[in-house]
Each structure stands twice: as structure tokens, then as C-alpha cells.
Structure 1
């Protein structure tokens, strides 16, 4: 069991599970350890952190007479605890977040994305400078992303796709985290494994922090020698984490094996079929989807629908069939932000998924017959209104071909 206590009650022999404050503020490279020295308590008190979580299963409890009314307890399976901030109101671990509309969640998701990007960027920069890596804060980010996905599975995933080539490395980690969480839900994984999958997604590319910048951000095709260097990032990420005392097996496995393929053509170990874990198979699908839909220094991203189609063609050789089918269920055949042509000849943008994979909720806004914009109309194609009866998607369209101004604002706001 975990208990939240003020730092004044810390004693030698307690197991420190988490520090209630910004990971940047605390004086340790990790926050989970048994307190064996009074100096550690002094460091925590001087850091400005006022409260901590202790693990009663692994260390001492507070003395009975010093218990305070505001202390809280919760089961171990509900960790880690998200940091409270004024910008992002995170529910307590006991409280399951309630479903929210796409519009409402987009606003919260934008703040979460910005915070997560900053944290990942800071972690990468620390690694590049040779500093000890602090990954304890990553659990807080994963929790906030998980809550967003639970409130609305489309908002944060869709926003995270809207990244520039310059911030690709950091936002890619955020996007893969969200995709891993959503995929876990469709694979019916429990809360603990869902959290671990999200953490693996957030840290999967940590090894790129030590990849030479001129290779990582090269605007053209890599040479064989450069690509060989790029391909070392799974081992480098695994090394960096283990050398810093990180031992969570699922995350380490995904970091090391997210580029393995079921036909044995992947790297670094050329694993195949049952040699690859479920979580590494999940990481492979989520990593590739976000990579090919994103703008990178050397390539513009493909449209979501085109990406799903391409991955379907590759599936037999590269991805686990069941994992890929669950992934499609999580993002949709027509993911949010897809431009589609309807049977009426009108164009619409996908706003949200519905109960039917082929009948999402769309916003109709343009007539291909008159070549003019029409008054925006939101329609759930699985439950069409009378004036849209029989309307269905007949094709997906290339956004660049139509050159609509501010297209992303039509669905992302």
C-alpha cells in the first residue's frame, strides 16, 4: 500500500515511492528507494518538496501518533501518481476519468502534449550532456496521457500527429505513448500493463539522444554507414536505462525490440514470430504509424488513411495480425483528420470514430460539384440525419491535392 505523507514525517527505513513535485526540482536521479541515511531526508526537505508517497509494503510506516487526517492511501496497482498542476487537472488514482467530448478534450490534450514534449526534450538534453537520467517523472506523463485517452481516445492521438519536422523526435515519443495506451485498451490489457505499455512508448527512442544530430536531423536519405549508426539507437536506449538503474522489463524490451519484425527482417537481433513479445509487437506498429504520418526532416508525412492502407499491405510480413487488427480498431480505418469523399460528392473531414469503423463522425464542408465551400455540417455516418440518409464514404482524398487553407483547424480547432 502507498501512503502520502508530509516530508516532516520521513524516517530512515521508509521506502520512498514518489516525490510530490516536479521531477526537475528533486535532488535524486531516481525517486524509488529505501531511505538509509538522514542526509537524504535533509536533501528532500531543502528541495522545497512538501509531500511524498511511501510504500508500506517495502518499508516502514509513520509512527501512529504522527498520522495526519489528510494522508491518503491507495492500492499499489494504481501508481504512479500524477503531479497536480493548475494547467492540467488530473483525477486522483481512485477516480476514473469521465468521458468527454472531442472539443473539450482537445483543449486539455493540447496542454498535456505541450507539457509532455517539454519533459521528453529535457530528458533527451540531459542524456546528451552525459547527466544521470531521471525517468521517474515519465510515469506522471504516462498517467496524464492515459487519462486523456480514457476521456476521449481520439483527441490527444490526433493532436500529437500534428508535429513539425523540428520537434518530431520529442513529439514522436508522446504520440507513441498515447497510441500504446489506446492499443492496450483494445487488447483488453489490465491497468498495470497498460501503464507499462505507455511508459515503453514514451521511452522507446531514448537511444536517439546519443545519435549524432547531423544524422538524426539529416534532410536527405541516409547513407548505409549513417543508417547503421541510426540502427544502434535501440541498444543505446537499453544501455542508458539499465546503467541508470531502470529495471522494468516490459519497457526495456520495447526499447530494445521495437524495430523487430515477425519475418525476422528487423533489428537489432533479427527476432521472428514468437521470439518477439506482445509489447514489442505493439511498439512496432505504433512506432511505424506515427513515423509515416508525421512530417520529418527528410519526408512529408502520409495521410492517415494512406498510412493504414500501406501498413495493411506490409502486415503479413512485418506485424502481428491480431495486434494490427486491434490497432486499426483503436485509430479507425479513417483516422481523425482524414479527408474523405462522400457518396453525394461532398468532402468531409473525420472528427471522431463511431461504433462502425467505416462510418465515423464527419464534418461536411465542401462540394466537389460546385467547387465551393458549403455550410459546415457534422454527421454521424452510423446514424445519419434525414437530409444525409444513405450518405457514406466512397474514397479518401489527398489533402495536398485540394490545398485547403487551415485544413487542420477544421478538426483540431
Structure 2
């Protein structure tokens, strides 16, 4: 990411103000490091007289303003020496009050920063889990045909660890970051499908043993693809012959897994029937309704979601909110309605990984699910290029009445520098799944 512009120099279109020109509705940019002042952002529109007084009390040599962002024009600049006379005692008392307010807000900002650092550390820990899990699953997939028992052992270990993490940490939950690395795309997809399936399974209150079996089946659901030429898998316009080969990956995977000899029926069901559809339109056996095993119905939902968000052709990618909307409005008949509803509820109105516009015009990435009582209030990371990304501003909207989401945004419509800041891994489809109580 390119370096941020010099904050002490006027940027294109900006003018310089002094404190006498400040009033509510005027845009300001403070030319000091973000960490050295009490406001949430360096650049903002003054909300009230108190904010104007607090900015004036900073005694900055200059303040920058973008007139196009002002709701009202700045006040006329006062000539030097024409300040209104004031009672010295009253001025001293007001200065002391403003210093106390600034100190309290600075302490509040530092406490917010501490909480966000803790959240960021949990997300980093989850990413480390993903990297290790992806390596293990990638190796298991590559070596499944030659050493299936060892491959299943590795997959079982990943499923057990992920299931335990999901159940043990409901507040920060699981964050497996689905980076579609070119050399390990199958593993990343498998991890996405597994974690999302576990999320639905937990919503459905499946016992831990069933969750663990579900996790293994989800990780191996596409194992049959190891028998198919990569050119067919990457082709979005397969002819009838190629489509028949592609659809055979379900049965081929089931046969490979059955020969391993140490997988349960639920695991085998997920592999064989994850492309079956509730309305009978799927494959390989055109099963319908509850004739489709439960594990396969679960994996069918999360497999479809991940394929919509991270398709072979990235230009066709949907945002998480768009993918959920498409599945609910256009494809609902294809899935178990009860399980799909649980999935939509778990992911939330603004699923993690979504890019949104806030009510004040700022852009943010959703990094944490909203609490059940406030479905429109997730945790967000705000685009603020003047703030180093490792210190980036994360806001829990459920605890902040001053900020809200206005609408979701499409990834394809956002500039590269914005996405590099908000989603540095670029192919995230979701990044944080909080427990839904």
C-alpha cells in the first residue's frame, strides 16, 4: 500500500482555517498523528459547538478544510487582535474544563484501541489456525489416493481442532480466512465449507460428535475432484461430455472415501450428495427433500455460498450479502429452507467480509457479526488512510450510537487502495463469525 500523504501539508482542494472559523457543519482535517488527539478520525465534519471548542483548544497552527465536504461555510476569519474580551477567571475555568474533557475522551479512545487490539489479536490467531489447517488439508487432499488412512487422520485432526475452537470461544468464534491461494485453492475452499457448515450445525444444536463428523465430511466433500483434469474444473463453459465428467466427482469421491475404510456414513453422505438439491434438480441421484442426508444438506448450502463468493472467474464474484440474497430469493427451493434460514441468521444482514458505506459517507469492512438484538450493528473496520492499518479503527456499532451502516457496497466498484486497506488478502469471503446466542 502506498504511503499516506504528509498530514501537515494541504491536500488537493483544501484550504487552511484558524480556530475562529470553526462551527458545526464545517469539515476539518487535523494535521497531527491520529494517536495524538482525542477524536475518532483525523478528518470529519464538526458535529457541535463542543467539538469546535475542543479543536480550538488544541492550539494548532493551522487546520485544513475541504470546502466540498462542508455542510455550512466556515466563519469569516477574525483579524489579529480583534478577539472578544473575556473574563480571565472564566477563560481559565473553561480551558481547564476543555482539558479535562479532552483527557477523558483520549482515555476513552485508548480503551477502545485496547479492545480493538484484543479483537485483532484473536483474528490474527484465527488466521494462524487457518494457515496451519490449510497446509494439513492440502497435504491430505494431494495424498488421499496413495495414503487415504493418513489423509483421513489429518483431516480428522483439523476437524476436531476447528470444532473445539468453535465451541470453546463463542465471543470471538472462528475466523478461518478463505484465501484462495493458487497452489491450495481446494484446501481453502474445503476449509470455508467446513467452517460455515459447522456454524449452521451449531445453530441447529447438533452434538459435538455430529459436528466433528460434519467437519470431516465437509473437508472431504470435493475429494473426487482429484480424479478430474484441472482444465475441466476451471472451465465455466463445459460441454455435455465435460459436464458429465465433472458431475462424476461426487461418486468418484464417495468411492475413494469408502475405500479408506474409516469414515462414517454421515461423512460419506456429505461427499456423495453435496450437489443434490431439495427440489430434486441436483446430482448424482436426483434425490429430493429429506431423502438427502442431513450432512449433505448442510454442505450443499455452504458449498454453494463459497462458490458464489469465490467463483473460478473472480469477475463473477458476489459479495457475501449478495450471495445470501441470491440464495434466499432465487435459489431457495434448492435448499432445506430451515437450514438455509439458520445460515442466513448466523451470517447476519451484513456478513463478515462485506464492504459497507456508513451513514457519514465513510467506507468500512465488516469484521464481526452483529449481536442478535441488533442485527444492523456489526463490528466494522473503517477506511482511514491516515491511520496505519495495524492501528486501524475498528468500531463495534452495537456499542456506538453515533455510527450506522447505510448500505452494502460491491467489491468490484471499490478502488484498489481501499480494498488493500480493508481486505488486504483480497479474496476473503468472510473473516469473522461471532456466536449467535
| Normalised TM-score (structure 2) | 0.63
List structure 1 runs of 4+ shifted beyond 6 angstroms: 372-375
From 203, 223, 231, the equivalent of 1:206 is 223
Secondary structure at the aligned position of 2:296 is classed as helix
Residues 352 and 132 (structure 1), Cα distance of their counterparts in 2 relative to 1, 3 Å cut: closer
Whose strand fraction is larger, Structure 1's or Structure 2's? 1
Structure 2 residue 413 is matched with structure 1 residue 401:
yes
From 394, 401, 404, the equivalent of 1:392 is 404
Whose helix fraction is larger, Structure 1's or Structure 2's? 2
From 373, 377, 387, the equivalent of 1:359 is 377
Structure 2 residue 157 is matched with structure 1 residue 140:
yes
- Contact in 1 for aligned 2:278/2:289 (Cα 8 Å): yes
Aligned-residue offset at 1:299: 5.2
Write out per-residue CA displacement over residues 52-81 of structure 1, whole angstroms, 9 at most, x where no aligned residue: xxxxxxxxxxxxxxxxxxxxxxxxxxxxxx
Distance 1:158 1:247 in 2: 24
Q: Which residue does the alignment assign to 2:6? A: none
Q: Which residue does the alignment assign to 1:159? A: 177
Distance 1:133 1:214 in 2: 28
Write out per-residue CA displacement over residues 212-247 of structure 1, whole angstroms, 9 at most, x where no aligned residue: 2221234x5222211111111111111001112134
Distance 2:351 2:232 in 1: 31
- Contact in 2 for aligned 1:305/1:338 (Cα 8 Å): yes
Report the more deviating stretch, 100-109 or 373-382.
373-382
Aligned-residue offset at 1:412: 6.7
Greater Rg over alpha carbons, structure? 2
Distance 1:102 1:159 in 2: 15
Q: Which residue does the alignment assign to 2:53? A: none
Residues 116 and 243 (structure 1), Cα distance of their counterparts in 2 relative to 1, 3 Å cut: same
From 237, 244, 260, the equivalent of 1:244 is 260
Contiguous gaps of at least 5 residues in structure 2: 1-116, 426-437
Aligned-residue offset at 1:326: 0.9
- Contact in 2 for aligned 1:341/1:397 (Cα 8 Å): yes
Q: Which residue does the alignment assign to 1:15? A: none
Residues 114 and 311 (structure 1), Cα distance of their counterparts in 2 relative to 1, 3 Å cut: same
Cα RMSD, aligned residues only: 2.6
Q: Which residue does the alignment assign to 1:172? A: 189
Q: Which residue does the alignment assign to 2:296? A: 280
Structure 2 residue 121 is matched with structure 1 residue 109:
no
Distance 1:239 1:253 in 2: 11
- Contact in 2 for aligned 1:334/1:350 (Cα 8 Å): yes
Aligned-residue offset at 1:377: 4.0
Residues 269 and 213 (structure 1), Cα distance of their counterparts in 2 relative to 1, 3 Å cut: same
Alignment of 1:170-319 (within 5 A): 170-218=187-235, 220-296=236-312, 300-319=316-335
Report the more deviating stretch, 352-361 or 251-260.
352-361
Write out per-residue CA displacement over residues 15-37 of structure 1, whole angstroms, 9 at most, x where no aligned residue: xxxxxxxxxxxxxxxxxxxxxxx
Residues 169 and 157 (structure 1), Cα distance of their counterparts in 2 relative to 1, 3 Å cut: same
- Contact in 2 for aligned 1:234/1:256 (Cα 8 Å): yes
Contiguous gaps of at least 5 residues in structure 1: 1-99, 367-371
From 143, 166, 178, the equivalent of 1:126 is 143
Residues 185 and 101 (structure 1), Cα distance of their counterparts in 2 relative to 1, 3 Å cut: farther
Distance 1:109 1:323 in 2: 26
Secondary structure at the aligned position of 1:306 is classed as helix
Count of aligned pairs: 302
Structure number with the bigger relative contact order (C-alpha 8 A, sep ≥ 6) is: 2
Distance 2:381 2:313 in 1: 31
Q: Which residue does the alignment assign to 2:90? A: none
Aligned-residue offset at 1:177: 1.1
Secondary structure at the aligned position of 1:405 is classed as helix
Aligned-residue offset at 1:133: 4.6
- Contact in 2 for aligned 1:105/1:155 (Cα 8 Å): no
Aligned-residue offset at 1:364: 2.9
Residues 247 and 339 (structure 1), Cα distance of their counterparts in 2 relative to 1, 3 Å cut: closer
Secondary structure at the aligned position of 2:399 is classed as coil
Distance 1:285 1:157 in 2: 19
Aligned-residue offset at 1:125: 2.2
- Contact in 2 for aligned 1:207/1:237 (Cα 8 Å): yes
Residues 407 and 323 (structure 1), Cα distance of their counterparts in 2 relative to 1, 3 Å cut: same
Secondary structure at the aligned position of 2:398 is classed as coil
